[in-house]
Amino acid sequence: MCLFCKIIKGEIPNKTVLEDEQFLAFEDINPQAKIHVLIIPKIHVDSFNEISSELMKDITSFIQKVAATLGVKEKGYRLITNIGQDGGQEVKHIHFHLLAGEQLGALV
């Protein structure tokens, strides 16, 4: 069982930001910005390459709710998902990083 599935089952504690029947958003234990939240589906999906369009639609709405809950929806935030080894994916469970709370440097 992957790390995020253990968090979903309550086997590993987390600092929940927002949760519903399909998704969980919680604080990253190694934040890269003042606000750094991970957003995951409660069903196991290895990566973005395997996510269904229906689940992607639903997680998009949930991510927007997380941004509103954190008070960053209007000011701005960065949303990242890493895909595969070369993309830097460390946990084989699709997750989105929401970073905010400060001016973030340009990536490109």
Question: Which residues belong to the active site?
Answer: 95
DSSP 3-state assignment of 23?
strand
End-to-end CA distance of the chain: 36
> Considering Cα of 92, then 93, then 94, then 99, what sign does the dihedral take?
negative
Count of residues making up the chain: 108
Find the Cα–Cα–Cα–Cα dihedral 100, 103, 107, 108, rounded to 10°: 140
